[in-house]
Amino acid sequence: MRTILLILDSLGCGALPDAHLYGDEASNTLLHVVEAMPHGSLPNLQKLGLGNIIPLPGILPVEKPLADFGKMMLASPGKDTITGHWEFAGIRLERPFPLYPSGFPESIISEFEKRIGRKSLGNVAASGTEIIAELGEAHMQTGFPIVYTSADSVFQIAAHDDIIPLAELYDICIIAREILQGANRVARVIARPFVGKPGAFVRTANRHDYAIEPPTPNLLTILKDAGVQVCGIGKISDIFCGVGISSSRSTKSNNDGMLALEEALKLKEPDSFYFVNLVDFDSLYGHRNDVRGYANALMEFDLFLPRILTELGEGDRLILTADHGCDPTTRGTDHTREYVPLMIYQAGTIGRDLGIRSSFADIAATECATRGVSMPMHGEAIDLFRKKE
């Protein structure tokens, strides 16, 4: 049995009932992205049942969708990457990770600067591209790294490759990770290297995330212990700190991630779980309010999708979903608290309406149920044991 859990990073599909608590009540990433593309531009996702989940212009519901379809709620508080991905693995948070809308406490910054032997710039909540444009030249003149955060629980460190070499930037991030513990235990420390000249700085693909280790057991550790090959593609290994991962492939783009998945499927590993994150939707387009870029990226994914479906055989399945929203049409550049679409494709079956699932953890419960393993976890299994239509 082979399962692909493919995360279209940030492709939410409408505000959750408590979205007003986050200022996200007008968000609908999928709808607003589709509105920015020519009608009918996602034919393969339409066949799976994308238009059956929510009304979308030009993407009509189909009578016999190729996949089960529905949408899911995030049961945990928050709207960040770690929370969403952990809940897929059956981990539900009771309290959100700490946030720093006014920057980090002086005690944290002082300890950080002492440990790295440099002062720092920034210490504000900001868009990554904007703060690099604002402080990049000062960074090059002083050698001080740029520290910033966002609406997510992150401590981000930006540095020019010519000023702080990549290996040193990674070491600085490890120091920050050691400092940020206890009440200040942020979900991720993120290295944000960039290149270029003032006025034309560009972030590189050498981003690296230093997350906190997830609680165990979780879906990944249970599967690995049961002899299943757990393959992380994209930033999955970073998100889970390598816990429960048998093999990992980092990627530089959505297309690179899809190619890596296609190559892995061609190996015909009989008992495997592929956990894939396509981050460009979020990092390149959602956070930059680039709705046209987001639309183009989604159309490119749609064109590639049949190449993945072709590799699936008897007993294999593809689960398509997202980890949160990041509506590129909203005023801010942060994640948005939204439902996420859910489509489960198994060759030879006609899809059913799965309704609204109350937790992302239903993914973990379903995977455990279909493989005959059990674990103490949240979530309700979806019945996938049915005859072909």
CATH number, domain containing residue 351: 3.40.720.10
Are 355 and 233 within one domain?
yes
Pair (151, 242) in one structural domain: no
What is the domain extent for residue 133? 106-211
- H or E element that contains 321: strand 317-321
Inside any domain, residue 380: no
* 331 and 354 housed in the same domain: yes
Question: What is the pLDDT at residue 386?
Answer: 57
The answer on 118 and 60 residing in a single domain is no
> Which of the listed residues 211, 226, 247 is the one where a domain comes to its end?
211
| pLDDT above 90 coverage of the chain, percent | 89
Whether 96 is covered by a domain: the verdict is: no
CATH of the domain at 119: 3.30.70.1250
Confirm whether 69 is domain-assigned: yes
Q: What is the mean pLDDT of residues 210-228?
A: 95
Residues 266 and 324 in one domain: yes
Nearest to 235 by CA among 204, 215, 207: 207
364 domain-assigned: yes
**Single residue among 163, 191, 211 that ends a domain in this structure:** 211
Number of domains in the chain: 2
Rounded distance between C-alpha atoms, residue 292 and residue 285, angstroms: 8
pLDDT digits (tens, 9 = 90+) for 179-207: 999 999 999 999 999 999 999 999 998 99
Residue 272 is assigned to a structural domain of this protein:
yes
The H or E element spanning position 194 is strand 188-195
Let me know whether 36 and 10 are in one domain: yes
- Both 171 and 41 in a single domain? no
Q: Tell me, yes or no, whether 367 and 334 share the same domain.
A: yes
Q: Are residues 204 and 230 in the same domain?
A: no
Measured CA to CA, the distance from residue 92 to residue 305 in angstroms comes to 30
Bridge-based pairing of strands 317-321 and 247-249 is unpaired
Global pTM reads 0.89
Domain contains 385: no
What average pLDDT does range 225-238 have in this prediction? 96
Reported as a single tens digit per residue, the pLDDT across 131-150 is 999 999 999 999 999 999 98
332 with 362, same domain: the answer is yes
Same domain for 153 and 249?
Answer: no
The stretch 15-44 carries a mean pLDDT of 94
* Residue 53 sits in the same domain as residue 80: yes
| Domain assignment of residue 137, yes or no | yes
Q: Is there a contact between 50 and 42 (Cβ–Cβ < 8 Å)? A: yes
